[in-house]
Amino acid sequence: MICLNIDSVTVRRGSRDLLSDVSLNLSAGEVVAVLGPNGAGKSTLFRAITNEYPSASGRVLLGEKPVSDWAPLECALQMAILPQSSSLSFSFTVNEVVQMGRTPHASSREHNQDICRRALLEVDALHLANRSYTHLSGGEKQRVHLARVLAQIWEPPLVGNRVLLLDEPTSALDPRHQHQTLAVARAFASQGVGVIVILHDLNLAAQYADRIVILKNGKKCADGCPAEVLTRETIQSVFDIRAMIMAHPVHGYPLVVAE
């Protein structure tokens, strides 16, 4: 089932196309990794999905309706986004920050608290619940905001499917928490959530994604399973890196090793 349909979207700023005729379908239960060099249009794609950047042409459908046609509350029950950075300078506790994700829900305080506790446990941050958010490290803050967006779409909505958009969620994390974050994304996908994650690490994308989409200069230049997309030729063309591609000795997904 297609839960998100990005259909020939172009995003223009002045005379420059930040995205040019990009199409992408996301199915329920699928993890799609979006890769590309800096300035390729990855974050612009997320802003187009959420209608922060209106499309000059094309459309984005959440379910069967354009994203712009959904009421904000209805959209928030279906789609959550973790941006690259989240600015928050007030001395909220971690638990209070995560509870912000429950704002769209008309559920009891006890129920919301239980979901926030479970979301913090998922991201290995339950021990931070009573800490001041402003006193956390960058990686801890990133995990707290991940818990917030998980809490937002923890339960299936009455209408539509759930979509989780993660913009470089591993950028400030140590290796253990990088893998844990993407394992959480995979676990949510197993519950029928469609996940799009922007990554820079090709090997993390190969390990956790069902499909990889590569953007370059605002255009989609590859879309397929990791073994189809992560080829020596594509990596050289897109990232200007000479690399060897080999199969993981146990799991078989491609490993990219720079020469």
Cα angle 64-66-70, degrees, rounded to a multiple of 5: 95
Mean pLDDT within 227-236 = 96
Which of 22-36, 80-94, 102-116, 206-220 comes out lowest in average pLDDT? Answer: 80-94
Task: Please report which residue ranges of the chain form alpha helices under DSSP H.
Answer: 42-49, 72-78, 94-99, 109-122, 138-152, 175-189, 202-208, 226-229, 232-239
| Count of beta carbons in the 10 Å neighbourhood of residue 245 | 17
CB within 8 Å of 127: residues ≥ 6 apart: none
Query: pLDDT tens digits for 53-90?
Result: 989 999 999 998 999 999 999 999 999 999 987 777 78
Cβ atoms of 230 and 66 closer than 8 Å: no
For 100, counting Cβ atoms within 10 Å of its Cβ (0-12 exposed, 13-18 middle, 19+ buried), the class is middle
Number of domains in the chain: 1
- State the pTM of this model: 0.95
Written as six digits, the tokens of 193 are 């959530």
**Average pLDDT of the residues in 224-244:** 95
In tens, the pLDDT along 8-38 reads 999 998 888 999 999 999 999 999 999 999 9
- How high is the pLDDT of residue 259? 86
Q: Give me the chain's average pLDDT, please.
A: 94
Please give the pLDDT value at position 158.
Answer: 84
pLDDT reading at 159 higher than 90: no
Percent with pLDDT over 70 in the chain: 100
pLDDT value of residue 178: 97
Residue count of the chain, please give it. Answer: 259
pLDDT at res. 23: 96
Residue 76 bridge partners (DSSP): none
Our CA dihedral for 43, 115, 104, 51, rounded to 10 degrees, sits at: 10
Instruction: Provide the domain limits for residue 115.
Output: 2-258
| CATH for 58 | 3.40.50.300
What is the model's pLDDT at position 201? 96
Percent of the chain with pLDDT over 90: 89
